[in-house]
Amino acid sequence: MDCSHVFEFKVNRLIVVFALFLAFFSVTHAALAQADTLHTPASSSHEEPQKKKFDIGKFALHHIGDSHSWHVIGDTYISLPIILYTSNGFVTFSSADFHHDDEAKILVEKKGLTFVKLHEKIYYGSPKPNAHGQFIDLDEKHHASNARPLDISFTKNVCTLFLSIVIILAVFLNVANGYKVRKGKSPKGLQSWMEPIILFVRDDIAKPNLGHKYERFMPYLLTVFFFIWFNNMLGLVPFLPGGANLTGNIAVTLVLAVSTFCLTVFNGNKYYWKHIFMPDVPWWMYIVMVPVELFGIFTKPIALMIRLFANITAGHILVLSLICLVFVFNSLYIAPISVAFAVFIGAIELLVAFIQAFIFTILSALFIGMAIEEHH
Amino acid sequence: MELLVPEIGLVILQTIAFLLLMFLLAKFAWKPVLAAIKERELSIDEALNKAELAKQEMTRLTAQNEELMKEARNERDLILKEAKALKDSIVHEAKTQAHTEGVKLIEKAKIEIENQKKAALAELKNQVSTLSLDIAERVLRGQLEDKSKQQDLVANLLKDVELN
């Protein structure tokens, strides 16, 4: 199946939409700036003392970060279990024990150890509170210097991870069942949704990059593609089952990139290694070439890791920031604009969700393909 | 910068979960799905090949049919030609026969007519001679009844004789 038309698809129209968006953005920005300057002198004299300034950066970072409780709506939270591997073995308790404290002000004592939560991270608590009532030692940069137990809690991201695995399994076991039931017939239902994408991964990602040995790597490529895509999409859902920034979490992209790295290294043939350690250059160039090539083995997966993380995180921050414009300007009249922009960015994010999954998979296939390529 | 530091716990869980997912999907989804897709593609290819072969067979048969038709047409033409020739010859023969027959009949009829004519003439001659004799008898009787007339006759006859 040739899917290259997906990328040429109405490029011109897209450009027009982007141009309009950018035009609007600059205009409204100017207008808002004007409105802001007009408003501030009048309002600042009355309201500023009691109004706390809305910190958009902190808000966005809080939302894209991991969390030990899952926010449902308003003041309703689902408390998630905390699992710690400490010096005294495994310790488990509910995050409700912290009573929504995120400033290390509440000590939880389990198995003779005390724990505090600071910015969604669990630390061993200090015996005495500091000047702000926090049971933690902060250095001059406000970084905690307490030791941390190994935290394998089922955080928001972990729950999303499990949920996405359940969804992916449900979808593809259903699809696989479709092939069993309708053996040799045309696909139907969910099967016909997924088959073009599976074929896309096979024919446009695996085959061109991996050659005739593509079949060995299909399970990895398909899994990684659908894992990233489904989780990107799930991250775009603003309410409960979604909303976690899983594929925008560096730990997750690290694992995915390391998987590609391992496949590349363990499947590399003699030509690949020869290319790295004995490239076809004069021997005195080896001083430069070998370190560069060795470095290249690592930069490729690191680029994969950073690319996915940055793209998804950036998308989340962008949507959050646009929504936060309402709070920044403290005016309801901004709402239509910020919602319109958020919808537009959301639409682009849908595209990005697919494209990032595609890019990660095609680059993985490319790296593996470089490692297993036969030279004649 | 905190965003860029991976949480060890999540790394561990993600590794376990991802490997488990890959194992499950590979075993229960990708393997059957890819096998089924491949099988179906092969069967489609086969079916298309078969269709192509059938098409070729069709063309061959059509060509053959055409050939047969042509042959049949030629044969038909030949037969028609022969039949026409036969017909012509028959007609010709019949015509000649009829002609000769006609000629014969005419000949016969002529002969018959000739015969009839001869008979008629003979009879006519008889009749004429009878009538002539009759008339001559009656004239002679009439002439011989009157003396003067007899003399006249003799005289006339003599006159004729003299002229001769």
Tens-digit pLDDT profile for residues A42-67 = 443 444 444 567 788 888 888 888 88
pLDDT per position as a tens digit, A61-98: 888 888 888 888 878 888 888 888 888 888 888 888 88
CA triplet A320, A324, A325: central angle to 5 degrees? 125
pLDDT of res. A37: 45
> What is the rounded average pLDDT of the residues A129-140?
80
Q: What is the pLDDT confidence band of residue A102, given thresholds at 50, 70 and 90?
A: confident
Q: What is the mean pLDDT of chain A?
A: 82
Residue A181: Cβ-neighbour burial (10 angstroms; 0-12, 13-18, 19+): exposed
Both structure tokens of A62: 């809080």
Decide if pLDDT at A11 tops 70.
Answer: no
Mean predicted confidence (pLDDT) in B134-144: 79
The sign one gets for the Cα dihedral A206, A208, A209, A211 is positive
Domain ranges of chain B: 2-163
What average pLDDT does range A285-294 have in this prediction? 88
- Residue A124 banded pLDDT, cuts 50, 70, 90: confident
Nearest-10 crossing angle of helices A218-236, A156-181: 120
- The answer to whether A244 touches A154, Cβ cutoff 8 Å, is no
State chain B's mean pLDDT as an integer: 89
Q: Characterize the bridge pairing of strands A121-124 and A113-118.
A: antiparallel
Give the whole-angstrom CA distance, residue A90 versus residue A230: 32
Residues 6+ apart with CB under 8 A from B34: A198, A202, A215, A218
A102-116, A153-167, B106-120: the lowest-pLDDT one = A102-116
Does the pLDDT value for residue A20 go beyond 90? no
Q: How far is CA A292 from CA A299, A301, A362, in A?
A: 10, 15, 23
Lowest average pLDDT, out of A4-8, A133-137, A223-227, goes to A4-8
**B161 at the A interface (CB within 8 A)?**
no
**Where along chain A do its domains lie?**
5-47, 77-154, 157-372
Residue A111: phi, psi to the nearest 5? 50, 40
The reply to whether B8 touches chain A by the CB within 8 Å rule is: yes
| pLDDT at residue A285, rounded to an integer | 85
Each residue of A337-366: pLDDT tens digit?
888 998 999 999 999 999 999 999 999 999
Helix (H) or strand (E) holding A82: strand A81-86
Provide the terminal-to-terminal Cα distance of chain B, rounded to the nearest Å: 184
C-beta pairs of B23-26 under 8 Å, 24+ apart in sequence: B24/A169, B25/A168, B25/A169, B25/A172, B25/A219, B25/A222, B25/A223, B25/A226, B26/A219, B26/A223
Whether pLDDT at A34 is above 80: no
Q: Which residue has the tokens 């015996």?
A: A127
Average pLDDT over residues A134-157: 84
Identify all chain A residues contacting B29, using CB atoms and an 8 Å cutoff. Answer: 169, 172-173, 175-176
Contact A168, A189 (CB under 8 A): no
Model confidence band, residue A27 (pLDDT cutoffs 50, 70, 90) = very low
Mutate to test the interface with A, among B33, B38, B41 (most CBs of A within 10 A): B33
The per-residue pLDDT for A22 is 58
pLDDT tens-digit profile of A157-211?
Answer: 999 999 999 999 999 999 999 888 888 788 888 888 999 999 999 999 999 999 8
Chain position carrying tokens 């899983």: A246
Round to whole Å and give the CA distance between A252 and A305.
9
Structure letter (DSSP) for residue A103: B
The complex's ipTM works out to 0.82
Mean pLDDT lowest among A167-176, B46-55, B151-160: B151-160
**How much of chain B, in percent, has pLDDT values that exceed 90?**
57
| Chain A residue at shortest CA distance from B33 | A176
Tokens of A279: 């490239």
User: How far apart are the CA of A176 and the nearest CA of chain B, in angstroms?
Assistant: 5
C-alpha R_g of chain A: 25
Report which of A312, A157, A252, A262 is spatially closest to residue B6, judged by C-alpha positions: A252
Of the ranges A3-12, A334-343, B143-152, which is most confident?
A334-343
* Helices A335-372 + A250-267 axis angle, to 10: 20
* Alpha carbon distance B138, B144 (integer Å): 10
CB-based contact, A252 to chain B, within 8 Å: yes
- CA dist A272 and B53 (Å) reads 46
Q: Binning pLDDT at 50, 70 and 90, where does residue B56 land? A: very high
Confidence class for position B58, pLDDT limits 50, 70, 90: very high
Chain B residues in contact with A180 (beta carbon < 8 A): 32, 36
